Structure 1
Amino acid sequence: MSTNSSSEIDVAHVQQHLVMDDMSSHESSAVEIPVPYHLPGAAMTHDIYTHANSLVKASLPRSRSLSDLAPPQLENDNPTAEFSNLDKPGGMRRYHVAQQQRFANQKDPSSFQPETAFEELFRPDSICSERSRQDYTFLYPDTQAQPVTRHFLDYLAMTSVMNQFAGEDLSDSEGDSHTDEETTSLLPNKHTSKVKKGKEKANITKTLFLLFKAFIGSGILFLPKAFLNGGLLFSIITMWVMGGVSLYCFLLLLDCKKYLAGSYGDIGGVLYGPWMRSIVLFSIAISQMGFMCGGTIFIVQNVIEAIRALSHDTIHLSSGAVFIFLAIILMPLVLIRNIAKLSPTALLSDVLIVAGLIVLLAYDFIEIFESGTPTVGPNINWWFNSANYSVFIGTAVYSFEGIGLIIPIRDSMEKPEKFPAVLTFVMVLVASTLCAVGTLGYVAFGEDSKTVALLNLPAGILPNSIQIGYAIAVLLSNALTLFPTIRIIEQALFGERTGKHSLYIKWQKNTLRAFIVILGTLIAYIGANDLDKFISLIGSVCCCPLSLIFPPLFHLALQDTKGWKRSVDMVLIAFGCGVMMFTFYNTSKQWVSQ
C-alpha cells in the first residue's frame, strides 16, 4: 500500500470523530476542516483538528498546489466573525496570534526597496511614499474611514481632488474628526461596515464632467473683451493653438507619471533636485493666489454694477468697501480645516455658474438676432488687433490653466489608461466652449464689450440677479481656489507641526490664513482698474511655467526621451519661455504707459 493511501485511511479514521459542517462532510477527505471555535472545549480539541489537517496536506501529491488549501478567512468576509469567539476559552489568545500573523504577512517597511529615487529623497507625506508606511487599516478592510461620495453631485464638488491638488498631499490633519480618545472603541463597530466603504473611483462620465468643471470658471467671462484685444480670427486661432499645446503638455506630464510616482513637484524634484520641487510648489501657490485675485475683482465689479442698476442709479458702492467686505466673508471659509465641509458651497457655486453661462449666451443670441436679421456690435475687428494682441495671449494661457487637477483626477479614475483619451475629448470641448463664449460676446457688443461679460447684460431683475448670483458663486469657490496656496505655505512654515492639540500653533495658522486673504485682497485692489491686463499678467507669470514650461522640461530629463521627442520638448520649452516673457513685457508696458 502506498504512503498516500495509508494517509488517506488515517485521515478518514480521524475525521469520523471530528465535528464537520454539512459541506465538509460531503467532500472528500482531502479537504481541511475548520476548527469549531464556537463549540465548548475548542481549546482542548484544537490540536486534534490541527493534526487532522496536517494529515490532509500530507495525503496530497506534491505536484498539487497548496495555495488553495488555506482555511477560509471568514474575518475578511465577515469582520465580526472572529470577535464573536473572544469569549470562548483561548479566544483572546487566538485573536492575538491571528493579528500578529497579519502584521507578519505585511511587507516590512525597512526592507522596502523603492522603485525610484523619489522615495528616498522626499518627505513622508508625499502621496507615492505612503507605501512605505505601516498600514494598520488592512486589519479591518470593511471599516476603513475613507471618503466616499454619496452621489454624483457630491463628487462634482471636487473637494476630494483639491486635497491632492497637483498630486500633493494637502489634507489637513487638524480637520480630521476621528480622534483617539479614551472613549474610542478598541474594536471596529460592526454597524459601520455597512456605511463606510472604500474610496469610490470615477468612471468615464464622472471624469469627463470633473475635467470640464476644472477648466470652466470665472475666466471664461473675460473672453469677449479678450477677443476685442486680439481680433476675432487671431483670437480663435490662438485659442485652439494654445489649447492644443496645453493638451500636449498635459500628456507629457502624464507620461512622466509612468516612470516617476508622486506629485507634480515630486517629479521635478527627482529629475532636477529639491530646488525644482520648491519652484513647482511656489508656482502652484502664486497661480492659485492669482486666480483668487482675479475672481475677487470679478466679484467687486459685478456687485457694484448690479446694486447700481437695481437701485436705479441711486446707490453707488465704494470698491474699497466691497473689497473689505469680501475679505471679511472669505476669512471664516479659509479657516475651515476639513475641506469636505465646503462641498455644499462648491455645489451651489456650480449651479450658479451654469445658470450664469446659460443666461449670458441667451442674451448674446438675443442681441445678435433680435431684429430678425443678424446684427453685430460696433467696430468689430474681424482679423487682428495689432495694438493689444499680447494681452489676449496671456488671457488665453489663463483660460486653459487646469494642470493642477490633472494628476488627482487621473488617480481617481477607475481606468487610468483611458484618461488621455478622455482628457483630449474634454480639451476639444473646452476650447469649443471658450471660443463660442468669446466669439458670441464680442460679435454681439463689439468695441463696447466689457472686461467682465456679465456687465454687458442690460439692466433688469434677471440679468442683475445673475450678476449677483455669479459673484456669490465665485466668492464661494475662492475658498477652494485658495486652499492649495494656504496648505503649501503652511507646510513650508510649520512642517509636521499641527494645531490639533496646540492652540498656539493653531492660532498661528489661523493668523497666516487671514494674512493670505488680506494680501490677496490688496493685490486684487491694486489690479482692479485694468482687469484684462491683470488677468494677462497672471496667465503669463503664473500659468505659463506650470502649463507650458515644466511638463516638457521634466519630460526632457527622462532617459527614454530620445530623438524627435527631445527636439519637440526643447521647442516647447522655448515656446513657453517666449510666451511668458513676451506677454509679461508687453502687458506691463501697456499698463505703465496708461
Structure 2
Amino acid sequence: MKSGGTDSSPSLKDGRMRESESAPSRESNSSPVCLSSSSNSDSASYHEQISNINPHDVDMKTVNKHLVSLDDTLKLQGGDIARHIHQQLENVNGKSPQTQRPARARSSSFSTFLDSSRRESTASDINVPGGFRREFLINKSLQTNSRPPNLLTKNFLEFLSMYGHFAGENLDDEDSDNDEEAIDETSSLLSNEIRPIPSYKPKKQKKGTASVLKTFFLVFKALVGSGVLFLPKAFFNGGLLFSSVVLSLFGFLTFLCYIILVQCKNTFQKDSYGELGFKTYGRPLRLCILISIIISQIGFVSTYVLFTSENLTSFIENYLNIKGTITTAHIVVAQCVCLVPLVLIRNLTKLSLISLVSSGFIIIGLIIIYYFSGLQLLTDGLGPNITNFNSSSWPLLIGVSVTAFEGIGLMLPIESSMARPEKFPMVLGLSMLLITIFFVFTGVLCYSAYGDTVKSIIILSLPQDKVSVQMISLLYSLAVFLSAPLQLFPVTKIIESLIFNNLLWYSNPSSRTDSDGKLYHSSGKYNKSIKWSKNVLRSAIIVLICTVAYLNSNNLDKFISFNGCFACIPLVYIYPPLIHLKTLNQEPANKRKNAYIRIFDCALIVVGIVAVVYTTYDILFSI
C-alpha cells in the first residue's frame, strides 16, 4: 500500500473507491471521503482505517455515483475483498444490513446471479433415473463445442411426463418439493428486502427437441393400448364389412380433429385444451372440456377394473380350478384396496417401472393373441355366423371405435415436444394410417377366426387350456391394472384444481384466479388439511370407480360404448371444430376457403352431436 505521508490520512482520488484496489493511491485534502485515524496512518492497518470513516467527511451522493449496489458487489471480480467498504458506507449512511435483513434459517445461494450466467441445469434434473448420465453428456458436448445430444423422450420414463401435461395442462404442483423459489435454498444471500412465502410462477417451457421418429413412436404409445382387445367384439356388433369401413372413417376424422386442435393451439398461442376453450367461449366451454376429460378417464379406469376382474376370474376358474369361491365382487374390492395407495402417488417418475412393465405385458399379449387367432383361422377356417352388417347392435361399434382412437389429451404435449412442430401433421398422418390398418387387421383377424362366439375381451376367446393363454391372461390383467394410476393422474389433478382453488382453502384467493383459463395446483406441502383432504378425495374417486365397474360387470361392451359415445365423442369431434370456428376470425384468408372450412366445422359438430344423442340413447334403452 502506497502512503502519501504522515501529516494526512489516506483518501480516495476524486471521491472514487474502486473494489479492485487494495488501498487509496494518493492523498487529497479535498476528497469527499476521508479515512480518519486517531493514530499514525503508517502504523494503522488498512482495515482499521476503513473501519473508522468519519460520517461528516463522506459525500454519499458523489460516492454512490461510482459504486455498485451492495448486492451487486459479488458480481465483480474480487468484489468480496472490498465488500466491507460497502458495509461501512451503509453504516455511515444510516443503513444497517444487520437490522434490515430478515434472519434466515440457513445460508442462501447466489442463484439470482448464477441462473443468469449458467445453462438451465438443476439438481432435480440429475436426481432422476439416467439424469447423471445425461448431465455428463451435455457438459461434455459444451466443452467440445459440439451440439448437445437429443435427450427428450429418449426413454420410457420421459414419456410419462406427457401425462404431467395431459391435454396441454401443466399439472405440476405450485408448492412442490422442487420449488425454485424456496427461501432457504435459492433466494439471494444478501438481499435487503423481506421475501414473502413462495408464490406460483409458471415454469419456463423447454423447447421441444424430439425427432420425427421419436414423435411417431410417442403417438403410437399414446393411441395403442388395451382398447384394441375390444375391437373383435365390436366387429361382431357392427359386421365385418361395415365395421372395417366405419373404423377407417373414424381414423380419418380423428386425424382431422387432432390437426384442427393443433392449429387452434398455434393460432391462439395457448398450450392447453382448457385454455383454448376459455379463450374462445369462456368458462362454460373450459368446464365442459374438463368434465369430459374427467368422465372419459374415469370410464377408462372403470373399464380396466372390469377387464382385470373378468380375466382374473377366468384364470382362477380354469387354471387354479377354483369355481364359485372367488367372485367378481371379491376381485373388484381387492383392486380397490390395491389402487388406493397407488393413486396417492404424486410423482409420475415413481410410476415409471410400473408403466414400463405394463407396456411389456401388453406387447407380449398381442403377440399371443395374433398367434392363436391366426392358428384358429388356418386350422378351422372362418368362424360361425359371420355377417357384413349387424343391424341390431351396430351402435355399439361407434363407441368402441371412438375409444380405440381416443388420445386427444396427449396430442398437444406431443406436438410441443417436437424440434420441428411443422412436421407434426405429416407424422400424425402416417401414425394414424398405420394405427388404423393395425386396428382393422386385429378386428378382421379375430372376428373371422371366432365368429359370433367372440367374447367381449378377445383373450377369453383363446383356448383356455393352454398355459401360455392363462399366463398372458394373468399378465395382461396386471398390465391393465397397473396402467390405472397413470390414467387417473390427470383426473385427480383436474378435480383437485377445481375443488381446492377457492375461498374455502385460501385466505388470499386473488393469487389463485383462473382469469387466463389455466389450472393451478397446491400440493398441500405447507397445509396439512389440504394434503389430507386430497388423500381422502383420491380414495373416494377409487371407490366410485370400482362401484361403477361392479355395477356394469355384466355389460362390459355396453359400458365401453357408452363411455366412448358420451364422453369421448365431444372431446374429439365436437369441441375442436367448435374452437376452430373462432380461428377463422383470427386468420384473414380467402372468403370462399373460409366458407368451406366453416361448413366442414359445422358438419363435424352436427354429426358429433347426433352421434352422441342417438348412440347414447340406443345403448341405454334399445340394445
TM-score higher than 0.5? yes
Classify the secondary structure of the residue corresponding to 1:370: helix
Q: 1:286 aligns with which of 278, 286, 295?
A: 295
Residue in structure 1 matched with residue 304 of structure 2 by the alignment: 295
Residue in structure 2 matched with residue 359 of structure 1 by the alignment: 368
Residue in structure 1 matched with residue 595 of structure 2 by the alignment: 563
Paired residue type of 1:379: N
The answer to whether the aligner puts 1:243 opposite 2:251 as a matched pair is yes
Deviations 1:424-469 (A, max 9, x none): 1111111111111111111111111000011112122211111111
Paired residue type of 2:617: Y
More moved, 531-540 vs 554-563: 554-563
Contact 1:307 1:315 in 2 (8 A): no
Residue in structure 2 matched with residue 471 of structure 1 by the alignment: 477
Distance 2:173 2:547 in 1: 26
Paired residue type of 1:267: L
The alpha carbon displacement at 1:187 in A equals: 8.6
Does the C-alpha gap of structure 1 residues 565 and 479 become closer, same or farther in structure 2, counting only changes over 3 Å?
same
The alpha carbon displacement at 1:370 in A equals: 3.2
Residue in structure 1 matched with residue 121 of structure 2 by the alignment: 143
Q: 1:418 aligns with which of 423, 448, 459?
A: 423
Residue in structure 2 matched with residue 226 of structure 1 by the alignment: 234
Does the C-alpha gap of structure 1 residues 185 and 408 become closer, same or farther in structure 2, counting only changes over 3 Å?
closer
- Within 5 Å, give how 1:374-453 maps onto structure 2: 375-381=381-387, 383-453=388-458
Residue in structure 2 matched with residue 515 of structure 1 by the alignment: 540
Percent of residue pairs bearing the same amino acid type: 36
Paired residue type of 1:297: L
Does the C-alpha gap of structure 1 residues 531 and 429 become closer, same or farther in structure 2, counting only changes over 3 Å?
same
Contact 1:149 1:155 in 2 (8 A): no
Residue in structure 2 matched with residue 69 of structure 1 by the alignment: none
Contact 2:20 2:77 in 1 (8 A): no
Aligned residues: 468
Contact 2:166 2:413 in 1 (8 A): yes
Distance 2:318 2:21 in 1: 86
The answer to whether the aligner puts 1:169 opposite 2:154 as a matched pair is no
Distance 2:85 2:304 in 1: 60
The alpha carbon displacement at 1:172 in A equals: 2.8
Q: 1:343 aligns with which of 345, 352, 362?
A: 352
Contact 1:308 1:316 in 2 (8 A): no
Does the C-alpha gap of structure 1 residues 589 and 146 become closer, same or farther in structure 2, counting only changes over 3 Å?
same
Higher helix fraction (1 or 2): 1
Distance 1:494 1:136 in 2: 35
Contact 2:319 2:470 in 1 (8 A): yes
The alpha carbon displacement at 1:417 in A equals: 0.8
Does the C-alpha gap of structure 1 residues 43 and 523 become closer, same or farther in structure 2, counting only changes over 3 Å?
farther
Distance 1:153 1:296 in 2: 31
Residue in structure 2 matched with residue 270 of structure 1 by the alignment: 279
Does the C-alpha gap of structure 1 residues 450 and 91 become closer, same or farther in structure 2, counting only changes over 3 Å?
farther
Paired residue type of 2:604: L
The answer to whether the aligner puts 1:255 opposite 2:260 as a matched pair is no
Does the C-alpha gap of structure 1 residues 271 and 135 become closer, same or farther in structure 2, counting only changes over 3 Å?
farther
Contact 1:376 1:443 in 2 (8 A): yes
The alpha carbon displacement at 1:590 in A equals: 3.4
Deviations 1:4-25 (A, max 9, x none): xxxxxxxxxxxxxxxxxxxxxx
- Within 5 Å, give how 1:79-98 maps onto structure 2: 85=78, 87-89=80-82
Paired residue type of 1:573: I
Contact 1:163 1:339 in 2 (8 A): yes
The alpha carbon displacement at 1:135 in A equals: 12
Larger C-alpha radius of gyration, 1 or 2? Answer: 2
The answer to whether the aligner puts 1:329 opposite 2:338 as a matched pair is yes
Residue in structure 2 matched with residue 542 of structure 1 by the alignment: 567
Residue in structure 2 matched with residue 370 of structure 1 by the alignment: 379
Contact 2:369 2:459 in 1 (8 A): yes
Paired residue type of 1:166: A
More moved, 240-249 vs 338-347: 338-347
The alpha carbon displacement at 1:400 in A equals: 0.9
Distance 1:249 1:462 in 2: 40
Q: State TM-score, norm by structure 1.
A: 0.73
Paired residue type of 1:221: L
Residue in structure 2 matched with residue 488 of structure 1 by the alignment: 494
The alpha carbon displacement at 1:159 in A equals: 1.6
Deviations 1:98-132 (A, max 9, x none): xxxxxxxxxxxxxxxxxxxxxxxxxxxxxxxxxxx
Contact 2:307 2:457 in 1 (8 A): yes
Does the C-alpha gap of structure 1 residues 206 and 135 become closer, same or farther in structure 2, counting only changes over 3 Å?
farther
Paired residue type of 1:505: I
Does the C-alpha gap of structure 1 residues 419 and 199 become closer, same or farther in structure 2, counting only changes over 3 Å?
closer
Q: 2:462 aligns with which of 457, 460, 476?
A: 457
Deviations 1:306-350 (A, max 9, x none): 121211355752111100111111111110111121111111111
The alpha carbon displacement at 1:86 in A equals: 5.5
Does the C-alpha gap of structure 1 residues 498 and 314 become closer, same or farther in structure 2, counting only changes over 3 Å?
closer
The alignment yields a C-alpha RMSD, in angstroms, of: 3.0
Classify the secondary structure of the residue corresponding to 1:311: coil
Paired residue type of 2:315: A
Classify the secondary structure of the residue corresponding to 2:594: coil
Classify the secondary structure of the residue corresponding to 2:354: helix
Deviations 1:23-76 (A, max 9, x none): xxxxxxxxxxxxxx9x9748989xxxxxxxxxxxxxxxxxxxxxxxxxxxxxxx
Contact 1:175 1:338 in 2 (8 A): no
Residue in structure 1 matched with residue 328 of structure 2 by the alignment: 319
Distance 1:450 1:44 in 2: 93
Paired residue type of 1:358: I
Classify the secondary structure of the residue corresponding to 1:589: helix
Residue in structure 1 matched with residue 155 of structure 2 by the alignment: 154
Does the C-alpha gap of structure 1 residues 137 and 471 become closer, same or farther in structure 2, counting only changes over 3 Å?
farther
Q: State TM-score, norm by structure 2.
A: 0.70
The answer to whether the aligner puts 1:579 opposite 2:598 as a matched pair is no
Distance 1:536 1:311 in 2: 32
Residue in structure 2 matched with residue 8 of structure 1 by the alignment: none
Distance 1:514 1:586 in 2: 33
Paired residue type of 2:461: N
Does the C-alpha gap of structure 1 residues 557 and 187 become closer, same or farther in structure 2, counting only changes over 3 Å?
closer
Distance 1:253 1:484 in 2: 19
Distance 1:139 1:515 in 2: 47
Classify the secondary structure of the residue corresponding to 1:143: coil
Distance 1:274 1:489 in 2: 16
Deviations 1:379-408 (A, max 9, x none): 111x10001001111111111111110001
- Within 5 Å, give how 1:2-21 maps onto structure 2: none
Deviations 1:246-267 (A, max 9, x none): 1111111111112112211111
Classify the secondary structure of the residue corresponding to 1:529: coil
Distance 1:328 1:175 in 2: 27
Contact 2:208 2:416 in 1 (8 A): no
Classify the secondary structure of the residue corresponding to 1:202: coil
Does the C-alpha gap of structure 1 residues 311 and 149 become closer, same or farther in structure 2, counting only changes over 3 Å?
closer
